[in-house]
Structure 1
Amino acid sequence: MNERKAVNYMDGSRRSGQISVPVVSVDTAADVRRRGSAVERQVAVLPVGSFEQHGPYLPLATDTLVACAIAREVAAAYPVHLLPPVTISCSHEHAGWPGTVSISSVTLHAVVRDIADSLARSGIDALVVVNGHGGNYVLGNVVQESAGRDPLMALFPAAEDWESARERAGVETSLLSDMHAGEIETSILLHCHPELVRPGYESTDFVADDRRHLLTLGMSGYTESGVIGRPSLASAEKGQRLLAELVESFAAYFSLVTSPKRPPRPEPGGERG
């Protein structure tokens, strides 16, 4: 049975053994108030996943489970408020498989923006969106458009954070090749939810690096199984190291959003890129 070391949580508790932490927060209002009283700037973390095919051996909720795993580890290491996940997002490229459910980018934009506005009214100073699905391009626009508004927003992890975590965790597949249900996602689930990984992932490797027409053709234009990557190389140990490295990378984001000096507001008619 896969085990993990005990973790010191911000509430002072320690949890160890097989991971079965609820996907949603079990905080009470008193917990939120107590955590908030210990810091000057209030930071919330919002996991955003998806509900889409991940081949024959990973669950439809894989991206949500990955986003929640990252957010949960971040919340264990930093004084942040962990929000429940957004579980359905922009998965239109996976429409060729049964089980996939999508919402429009306009809807996802509105949902995240509404959550941010609600948090601002509740006294939250910053919101970090933890994205678990590569097709949620619109999340970058939400953060970009939040400049000069409350709360301050950030999107995590960036490609650079994944690349650093991949290298340090010993993941062999490049980010280009490890596109979907591959070594990274399978490793994280083997660490966090091994009971959800079905037999067969060891023999379903498939690489399709040239995906220039992905937005037009969807995933079915490149893979029959739904897998693009090398899940056979996955391990629970790599999953644990990936999460640990991402938690380290989050330090720069936490420092940025808790800095007393906010990024400058854009000037009307200023520089255009």
Structure 2
Amino acid sequence: MSEFTGWLHQDAGELDEAMAWTNRAIQLANEAGAPELAAYVAVRRSNIDSDRRDTRAALDHASAAGMEGLSIPMTNPDVISTETSPDVASRGSKIAVLSIGSFEQHGDILPLSTDTIVATQIASMVARANNLWLLPPITVSCSQEHTDWPGTISIPAATLIRLVEGIVASARAQGAEHVVLINGHGGNYVLQNVVQEASDLSLFPGRSDWTAAREAAGLKTNAHDDMHAGELEISILLHCAPDLVGPDFKHQDHLADSRPHLLTHGLRAYTDTGIIGSPSLASAKKGAAILEAVATLFVDHVSGVRASM
């Protein structure tokens, strides 16, 4: 059924949905111990990749379909640096980039690691483009408002402060003169205070940066209405990690514009699914445009950092 649904979406030109359903079919075939069926569906996935003009993915899936002991290649987003010590030494950057994500529910359409994936994609992208030192990510942070859902792990704000301060102190000892915190979780309010109290720290993207990126990418929602697992986050993962997006994202919209007691009652008071926003409006094209806009905005940010050093 998942495979057939994928075909229907492909025939309708809905390639993001087709890809999500075809990935689900491959997963089910592998779990059932049916490599021949998985290979057959992988050929269909290769065809979808071709329609999306993703030649590399199309070749990978076509190749995997013909391999004995089939292992379908899945997207591997940049979550942690694979640089060697000599790589860091040869770069000699005095500016480091520290991504901070979370491990919290995003309904049944995105993984618990979504915020970490978003933060690390931005961090690795801007580090490469600006020749900066990419630090290992913080993958757990302040997610208390999501703890009504299984899987969410949250730490106190004081613990996050100590963790950031410890990593920054170690980076300073290695020669870093400034650390940019790349925050992927809106609930990490305390990071603003951390940056306020240190002359060699900055925070990116800010609220105005996300607003500008939304506008540049043509998103139809704003940050308030599209708060969690909505148009923005689904779009980014459709672009950089499409295999991690649940196939039913087009039918999960939930609006809760008034959330006066979010911090005291948590997200469960406003949504049963854990989603607040419009995932149905998401697309891989928008995701690519969001990240491109963020990368452009970071150039101004890092220029200001360099001018102050």
- Measured against the shorter chain, the TM-score band is 0.7 to 0.9
Report deviation, 1:76: 2.3
User: For the structure 1 residues 214 and 5, does the alpha-carbon distance in structure 2 shift closer, same or farther, using more than 3 Å as the test?
Assistant: farther
Contact between 2:113 and 2:139, CA under 8 Å: does it hold in 1?
Answer: yes
- Partner Cα distance (2:141, 2:78) in 1: 20
The worse-fitting range, judged by mean Cα deviation, of 112-121 and 178-187 is 112-121
- Partner Cα distance (1:130, 1:170) in 2: 23
Task: Say whether 1:76 aligns with 2:76.
Answer: no
- Partner Cα distance (2:138, 2:53) in 1: 28
Contact between 1:4 and 1:19, CA under 8 Å: does it hold in 2?
Answer: no
Aligned equivalent of 1:20 = 76
Segments of structure 1 that go 5 or more residues without pairing to the other structure are 7-17, 263-273
- Partner Cα distance (1:235, 1:74) in 2: 22
Question: Does the residue aligned with 2:96 lie in a helix, a strand or coil?
Answer: strand
Aligned equivalent of 1:269 = none
Contact between 1:173 and 1:183, CA under 8 Å: does it hold in 2?
Answer: yes
Contact between 2:75 and 2:243, CA under 8 Å: does it hold in 1?
Answer: no
Matched pairs, number: 243
Greater relative CO (CA pairs within 8 A, separation 6+): 1
Question: Does the residue aligned with 1:155 lie in a helix, a strand or coil?
Answer: strand
Report deviation, 1:62: 0.3
- Partner Cα distance (1:90, 1:181) in 2: 17
Alignment partner for residue 216 of structure 1, among 261, 264, 271? Answer: 264
Aligned equivalent of 1:120 = 172
TM-score for both structures, normalised by structure 1: 0.85
Task: Say whether 1:171 aligns with 2:223.
Answer: no
- Partner Cα distance (2:120, 2:55) in 1: 18
Report deviation, 1:19: 5.1
Alignment partner for residue 106 of structure 1, among 158, 162, 180? Answer: 158
Bigger-Rg structure (1/2): 2
- Partner Cα distance (1:127, 1:30) in 2: 20
Alignment partner for residue 190 of structure 2, among 138, 144, 149? Answer: 138
Segments of structure 2 that go 5 or more residues without pairing to the other structure are 1-48, 57-73
Alignment partner for residue 207 of structure 2, among 159, 163, 175? Answer: 159
Question: Does the residue aligned with 2:155 lie in a helix, a strand or coil?
Answer: coil
Contact between 1:88 and 1:101, CA under 8 Å: does it hold in 2?
Answer: yes
Letter in 1 for 2:88: V
Report deviation, 1:81: 0.8
- Partner Cα distance (2:272, 2:193) in 1: 31
Contact between 2:77 and 2:241, CA under 8 Å: does it hold in 1?
Answer: no
Report deviation, 1:21: 4.2
1:42-70: CA deviations, max 9, x gaps? 11111100000001110000000000111
- Partner Cα distance (1:242, 1:20) in 2: 19
User: Structure 2 matches for 1:1-273, cutoff 5 A?
Assistant: 1=49, 20-36=76-92, 42-147=94-199, 152-259=200-307, 261-262=308-309
TM-score for both structures, normalised by structure 2: 0.76
1:185-242: CA deviations, max 9, x gaps? 0000000100010111100101111112101110001000000000000000100000
Letter in 1 for 2:234: T
Contact between 1:126 and 1:153, CA under 8 Å: does it hold in 2?
Answer: yes
Letter in 2 for 1:108: L
Contact between 1:153 and 1:257, CA under 8 Å: does it hold in 2?
Answer: no
Question: Does the residue aligned with 2:264 lie in a helix, a strand or coil?
Answer: helix
Question: Does the residue aligned with 1:113 lie in a helix, a strand or coil?
Answer: helix
Report deviation, 1:5: 9.6
Question: Does the residue aligned with 1:229 lie in a helix, a strand or coil?
Answer: coil
- Structure 1 runs of 4+ with >2 Å offset: 1-6, 18-22
